[in-house]
Amino acid sequence: MSGPALPPAIDRLLDLAALPAMALPAAGRRMARISLFDWMVCGLAGADEPVSVRLRAAIGAEGGHPVASIIGGGAMPARAAALVNGATSHALDYDDTHFGHVGHPSVAIFPAALAVAEEVGAGAAEMVDAFLIGAEASVRIGMLLGAAHYNRGFHQTATAGAFGATLAAGRLYGLPHGQMRAAIGLCASRASGLKLQFGTMGKPLNAGIAASNGVECAMLAQAGLSATADGLEGEQGFVPTHSDAPVTAGDRHEPLPGRFLFEDVRYKLHACCHGTHAMIEALAGLAAQGLTAADVAAIRLRTNPRWLRVCDIKAPRSGLEIKFSYAWLAGMVLSGIPTAAETAYTDACAADPALAAFARRVEVCGDADLSDMQAAAEVTLTDGRVRILAHDLAMNVPLAVLEANLRTKAQGLLGDRAGVLGAAVAGLDRLAARDFGVLLRRA
């Protein structure tokens, strides 16, 4: 027996955007603060990446009223800052992922939230609450679009993420109900981003575009621009035009009372596509037993079929493409090359003849019985023995362990500065958003 009909998605999102701070789930808030720390770490660590340096120069040359901080130094208009900081924080591909729709929430939404929070003089806690609302919206919209949207070639970080950034920015601008609806409608014409950019600077730019679109749509709605009443599910709206198989109302994933879907966010401990991490963890267990690439005759890896069009580059041509190559990463794990170290992903590594030879021993197959977060492998050793390996990223990690792992990651990327960021997050209820902007300017 079916339950009562759900109201349109846009109405539920508008209710979400209007939730008072006291109604936000405590677990969601804690995860949002963990994401803030991890996002700042990834942003500062990526400040000197080529895409970051070039964007700061190109966008900075446009000028404008400098109200929002730029990772790496300086300030720009809010929309420009969101663009630069979104791309910069995704430059290393080391940020969080939500597998409910396979999107990176922090890099699309925190840059928009920080930029607008600095512009309006909001507190840091208000900024994080706005992020949490936007991140939850992006997950819900991404799951509404369904797997068909991502599998067709759209980058959910950029598409669903733009809507999340719009809600976060709109909340901080204080948009009333009608203007928030208009902002979502405007975003329906702006949200964009394709997976074909993976392995290039275009991928982190997708995150920056999402953040910038969010600020722009909220700003224009505040200025009085009108838009369609339902930019999501209305006739020729974003969902029907961008998904061949959207999730129907009766099958939509609704969080349990007092809980947000965002709480299932996952964090990276390897500086590469999250779709490869289950394989890396499985093979790391083999390496921990003392086995190396020289001991392996063949690997038959099984993964969810959607990843075959994302991270199965057979012969990467650059350090960026290594991040999307099962075969190369498998060789790195078994050769003792640290996948957690961003410095490992170089063009020289992509040209390594030993890794190229090992990659030819790796067969990657799609298995629809595996989830997006699982990997299984049959490893044949040179002595004829066969090892069966598997890993599931959905396994819950105690929060204390997660936070310790992320502190270790931060220390490896930023050294002692990681402690300063951690202290700021711990005391954010006493700080303004601008205090975090100051921290990010000091690359």
Tens digit of each residue's pLDDT (9 = 90 or more) over 25-63: 999 999 999 999 999 999 999 999 999 999 999 999 999
Share of residues in the chain with pLDDT > 70 (%): 97
Q: Match domain 9-266+401-441 to its CATH number in 3.40.50.720, 1.10.4100.10, 3.40.30.10, 3.30.499.10.
A: 1.10.4100.10
What pTM does this model have? 0.92
pLDDT bracket for residue 6 (50, 70, 90): confident
Q: What's the mean pLDDT when you consider all of the chain? A: 95
pLDDT bracket for residue 352 (50, 70, 90): very high
**Rounded distance, CA 424 to CA 403, Å?**
15
Query: C-alpha distances in angstroms, 148 versus 74, 168, 327?
Result: 40, 26, 26
4, pLDDT greater than 60: no
* Mean pLDDT of the 384-408 span: 95
Q: Answer yes or no: are the C-beta atoms of 316 and 362 closer than 8 Å.
A: no
**What per-residue confidence (pLDDT) applies to 250?**
54
**What per-residue confidence (pLDDT) applies to 252?**
62
Name residues whose C-beta falls within 8 Å of residue 266's C-beta, 6 or more positions apart in sequence.
96, 97, 98, 99, 274, 373, 393
**Rounded distance, CA 362 to CA 364, Å?**
6
**What per-residue confidence (pLDDT) applies to 325?**
97
What fold does the segment set 274-392 form as a domain? 60s Ribosomal Protein L30; Chain: A; (3.30.1330)
Question: 127 is written with which tokens?
Answer: 């900024």
Q: Answer yes or no: are the C-beta atoms of 246 and 151 closer than 8 Å.
A: no
* pLDDT digits 0-9 by tens, 255-264: 777 899 999 9
12, pLDDT greater than 90: yes
Name residues whose C-beta falls within 8 Å of residue 415's C-beta, 6 or more positions apart in sequence.
none
* Burial class of residue 63, CB neighbours in 10 A (0-12, 13-18, 19+): exposed
**What per-residue confidence (pLDDT) applies to 1?**
38
Give the domain ranges of the chain: 9-266+401-441, 274-392
305, pLDDT greater than 60: yes
Which of these, 393, 267, 270, lies nearest to 325 by C-alpha position? Answer: 270
The edge-to-edge listing of strands for the beta sheet with 374-381 is 362-366, 296-303, 374-381, 386-392
Which residues are paired to 164 by β-bridges? Answer: none
